[in-house]
Every structure is written in C-alpha cells, then in structure tokens.
Amino acid sequence: MSLKQKFDTKLLNIICHTLIRMSEKKLGYNIRIKGEKVNHEVFKEYLEIAKRADDAGLHFLSFPEFFGRFDPNRLHVVPYMATVATVTEHVKLGFDVLQIPLLHPKHIADIGASLDIISNGRFIFGAGTGWVPAEFEEFGVPFKERGKITDESLDIIKKLWTQPSITEYNGKYFKFKNVCSPPCIQKPHPPIWIGGASDASIRRTVQYGNEWAPTWWYPGEAMGMKEEEKWDIKERTEKLKEYCKQFGRELVLGREPKGYKEVGLNQRIEVNINPNRQKAKEEVFHFWVDVRKGRSHGGDTIEKKLKYIAAGNAEDVIEKLNEVYKSGAYLVVIYPMSTDSKTQWDRIEKEVLPSL
C-alpha cells in the first residue's frame, strides 16, 4: 500500500468514526472476558478490543458483574473497568448492571465516584436488583426485599454524590452518621441506568435514574419469563411515560437524553456474527452450553437463546439492530455470544459499524 493510500484510508476512518460519534444511532459493546480461560494475555487482548472500540467511535462499553455465580474465567469488574478507562479516551464505561442489594451503598458511591474520576467523567452507573435467589442466600440478603433495599441504596448514593457529606441517615436498611464520598466529575452525578422490566424497575428509572436499560426481547415475549410475566417494549414504554408524568419528567426516544428532566431508553441484544448461519448457531451452542454451562445458578435453554438472539451474518445482525432502534432506543449494546470476542469485534467493526 502506498503512502497516499495509507493516508486516504486513515482519513476515511477518521471521517467514518466522527460520523458514528455524531449519529443519533449509538452502539455499545459488552467487554466482559468470555474465553475458556483468563490470564494476562487474554486480559491484554481485551484491552486491545477496548482501545479499538474507542478509536471506532463506540458510545459505551459495558462491564457486567455476577457476585455469586460460579465462573472463574472473569476479572472483577472494578479494577478491570478502571484499567480500561486508562487506555481509552472517549468511550463511556459502566456497570451493566451492578446488583445493588448485595453491596453497601456507601461502598457503591465510593466506587462510582472513583471510577468517574479515573475515567475523567465517562462513568455510567448501571443499577439492578438482581434476579437469582441463590446469590442472595449466599450473601444473607432477603431476596423478596431486594427492590426496597435498592430504592434506599439509590437514595443514599445520590445524596453522597450531590452533597459534601451525610451527617445522619436513618433508613429501614441502613443507618449511619458523618459519611462522604469523593466528588464526582459529572454533575450533578454520573448517569444512572436502571435495568429490568417490572413496574418497579420502570418507576425506579424515573424516580432515581436517567435511562431505562432493558434487554431486548421480541415484541410480546420475554425470555425465561412465565406467561403472566411476559412484556413487550411498546407497553412498557407507555408505562414509562405514565411514571414520567407522575414525577414531572419527560421520556425522549431515539436520542440521548439531555439534562435530568429527560429520561432515555437504551437496550442490549445478544449476537453472534458469522457468514455461515449454521456456524453462528454452533458457536452460540459452544459458548452457552460447553463454556458457560447455561449460566450457573439458572438460565435459559439453548433453544430459547437461539430463538431470541441475533445469530447469523452481518446483514441478519444489522436487521435486528435496526429493529431495536425502531423501538425507541438510541443506544444498542451488543453482547457477543462467543468465546472469540476478538473475531466478533472484527466483524462488528468492518461489517456493522459502516451501516450506522
């Protein structure tokens, strides 16, 4: 390749990545290590993916945490995210999502403020209640009270992020005096995204959060749910609007919310990109059944996974992404269902990003 060709290619990449950052359709990527093993070399490989995602103009990198599930091939989310923050400059970083009832809110507030400082204001606080009873048993936390614990924790965390200190707090679950957290860079505090699809989760989004961040399911269905628990995005969006009216806020669809008055919507979708559709399904099977063991402490069958995720060539995945964008989400976070995240990222960068 000549020097002129290299310059033209670099210039084209800069223009393409700038347009991606400016686009209303934004993309995120799940950066959790997904191989059969974890060691320093694997860690460096994922750091390289993070840097490439940052250079490519991605909006968000997600870092899930599962405190009680048996999985030795992972890194703890906090030091891992902090390290990624030091090798990237633009992409936002966040929990997707942190199970709030399993940690003390003062601890969470300190972690969040520290990550906001380390990332220079790029931290996003993804909060959830959790859904696996066995994890709560292991931590000695009452599973049926997880929602109320989450509400009280979010109240404390927001106070710690927006006040110099809390002189006294007397709640049902937490009582303390004279505590403080480091000052966040983002004001009034880092964005708060709430996961889940229940009425309580949607109310919690509007009462405490900035964006609702559910996982995408096909309209009218929810993977792993009982018949009476099934939901669709249109009905849940209407519920979100109802709570916005109640709390004096406004739901905005198709773009990132601006300021605290607005509430936004983003979603995540599981994918496997392979030119050979059958190979894509086989790789999902290997990832979910052989490596992840169908998710320890519970999870869905491989039949359900293959029914709901986007497994196929780039055109298949782009079609599903556009379906999610049409639901009102301005951001879609891709969860690669593969032990070869590097190849998945290569295909996203070369075959999916240009379509946005």
Q: Report the CATH number at residue 157.
A: 3.20.20.30
pTM: predicted TM-score of the whole model, two decimal places: 0.90
Q: Is the pLDDT of residue 336 over 90?
A: yes
For residue 15, how many other CB atoms are within 10 A of its CB?
10
* DSSP string computed for 9-58: HHHHHHHHHHHHHHSSSEEEEE----SS---HHHHHHHHHHHHHHHHTT-
Q: Is residue 338 part of a domain?
A: no
Q: What number is the average pLDDT over the span 255-268? A: 95
What confidence score (pLDDT) does residue 226 get?
60
307 sits in which H/E element: helix 302-308
Q: Is residue 294 part of a domain?
A: no
Cα 274 from chain centre: 23
Q: Is the pLDDT of residue 262 over 80?
A: yes
Q: Is residue 2 part of a domain?
A: no
Cα 208 to Cα 89: distance, rounded to the nearest angstrom: 28
Cα 131 to Cα 128: distance, rounded to the nearest angstrom: 9
Q: Is residue 309 part of a domain?
A: no
More confident residue, 229 or 166: 166
% of residues, the chain, pLDDT over 70: 88
What confidence score (pLDDT) does residue 256 get?
96
Q: What is the DSSP letter of 205?
A: H
Tokens of 179: 């505590």
Of 297, 105, 321, 324, the closest CA to residue 214 belongs to 324
Give the bridge partners for 98, in sequence order: 127
What confidence score (pLDDT) does residue 29 get?
97
Q: What is the pLDDT of residues 192-228, one digit of tens each?
A: 999 988 999 999 999 999 999 998 765 555 545 565 5
Q: Is the pLDDT of residue 61 over 50?
A: yes
For residue 28, how many other CB atoms are within 10 A of its CB?
25
Q: How many domains are contained in the chain?
A: 1
203 sits in which H/E element: helix 199-208
Q: Is residue 5 part of a domain?
A: no
Confidence of residue 65 (pLDDT cuts 50, 70, 90): confident
What confidence score (pLDDT) does residue 12 get?
45
Q: What is the pLDDT of residues 98-144, one digit of tens each?
A: 999 999 999 999 999 999 999 999 999 999 999 889 889 989 999 99
**Cβ(299)–Cβ(265) below 8 Å:** no
What confidence score (pLDDT) does residue 230 get?
66
Q: Is residue 214 part of a domain?
A: yes
Q: What number is the average pLDDT over the span 74-102? A: 96
Q: What number is the average pLDDT over the span 83-109? A: 97
What confidence score (pLDDT) does residue 353 get?
93
State the greatest distance between any 2 C-alpha atoms of the chain, in Å, as a whole number: 69
Cα 203 to Cα 157: distance, rounded to the nearest angstrom: 17
Confidence of residue 9 (pLDDT cuts 50, 70, 90): very low
Of 349, 355, 352, the closest CA to residue 48 belongs to 349
Q: What is the DSSP letter of 287?
A: I
Which CA distances in Å does 196 have to 137, 201, 212, 256? 21, 6, 8, 19
For residue 270, how many other CB atoms are within 10 A of its CB?
23
Q: Is residue 262 part of a domain?
A: yes
Query: What average pLDDT does the chain have?
Result: 89
Domain that holds residue 220: 24-268
